[in-house]
Amino acid sequence: MAEHGVADAGAARIQDFPQLRVDRFLASFASKYLTGEVYAAWVERLRKLDATARLNEWRNLPFGAAKELQAHVPFGLTPVAAVDTCGHVLTASDLKSPARRSQLFERTVVPDAYSTWQRVLGLYPLTRWPFIKGVWRLQRELRAPFMDPHLDLALAGRLTRYIPPTLETLGTAETSGIVRKGAANPLGIPDLSESELNRLFAAFAPVWAIDTVSDSDRIGTVRIGADGEAYIDVTEPVAYRLASHTRIGQQVLLQLNYLIWFPARPAEGSLDIYSGRFDGLIWRVTLAADGKPVAYDSIHPCGCYYQIFPGEGFRVVQPQDGSEPVLSPPISIPQLKPGERLVIWLAAGTHFIQRITRERVVPAPVVYRWLDYDKLRSLPAPKGRRQSLFDPEGLVQGSERLERFLFWPMGIASAGAMRQWGTHAIAFLGRRHFDDPRLLDKLLQPIGK
């Protein structure tokens, strides 16, 4: 796959276990205490990660390479059947071997999204100090719109509201029932059916209120053009959905991720190092077992501008390890009342979050639709081909920013470029990842403790 440039960066390969891959969440379970059916359930999830990635890689191969590979598949199996069959055979053999079990635990490691050699060459211990001032300055800018929630936001253009395609309402008891039922498995991971996920995604989907100056402020669908380059089709507004998980204490919590794409972040002047093609926002809702959100957080698809908004009954605790402070505007988001929905207000150009309100949704002229995030890993391309939005390093080609030449000593490859899920570094100082399974465990604390 690597020689054809179609390797998928969403999960890490595991040395000497070709049928398995791992992400940060599943890596957090690796322990010698993992035994029996719990161990088997964990390994099966690693196998499924590999199967999903491998099938996307297979689909994205050039026709000649795919035909050659198909010729080597035994017994006339389809690619799907071949991956599934071989994966099960290899896994069944590994489950019988104590030595392979110990080896697997040692090698279940996900490389972080930071480059140590860049930090060494960039004299990180020294160059980090100017960045600290820059981080504080940026956080003051992002925090400012939240300081007076009663102040009307000044619009640079026209406000466009995008409402979800389904306005499902779920009470906390019903939400809790769905989540608890899904977690009844050896690992305690909320594992929901497609219909159950659809209901939850619909119930917590936000309304997007976007200050619109140009097409760069319109959300759309990712497509591959006739030239083989990706672009955003703003005639079809879409939110891409992805379910993920995190760990707080001994519990595994479900997370609902909503990703919207913009065609660009337009330049604000003659030399705007942050401008370029493609921009977006990931909005994440983390649900507790009682059906209530413990937190909402967000990043842009480059991993930049991380913000966290605690849910009712929680507060944010700043890290004390000398790493980058976390931006948490001075608000918490109370439990929504029946019929209410969160409205995310985004600025023109920068697409920064300016305000979050709770409102009863009324019909709007623009309705966005749903697409599965995984579709971005294998998109229809010209001449019947398919290709991923992301390159083998997990970057979106064409989304590079000039800021990469300034920020490289912080150890992030191509800072500012859009990235694939699982590769988001979210801090310049220290090491922090959006998919760190203990991220919220470190940052949240119940009020009163």
pLDDT of residue 380: 96
**Which strands sit side by side in the sheet containing 293-299, from one edge to the other?**
307-310, 293-299, 276-287, 251-265, 238-248, 369-372
* pLDDT digits 0-9 by tens, 314-349: 999 998 877 888 999 888 898 888 889 999 999 999
CA distances 438 to 21, 26, 28, 175, 444, Å, are 20, 12, 9, 23, 10
Of 351, 349, 257, nearest to 295 by C-alpha is 257
pTM: 0.95
pLDDT digits (tens, 9 = 90+) for 260-276: 999 999 999 888 999 99
Q: What is the mean pLDDT of the chain?
A: 92
Q: Are strands 366-367 and 158-163 parallel, antiparallel or unpaired?
A: parallel
pLDDT at res. 181: 93
Give residue-wise pLDDT tens across range 188-225: 999 999 999 999 999 999 999 999 999 999 999 999 99
d(CA 8, CA 420): 9
Q: Which two tokens stand for residue 231?
A: 């672009």
Q: Taking residues 61-88, report their average pLDDT.
A: 76
Per-residue pLDDT of 83-123, as tens digits, reads: 888 899 999 999 999 999 999 999 999 999 999 999 999 88
Q: Which of 265, 370, 255 is nearest to 311 (CA)?
A: 255
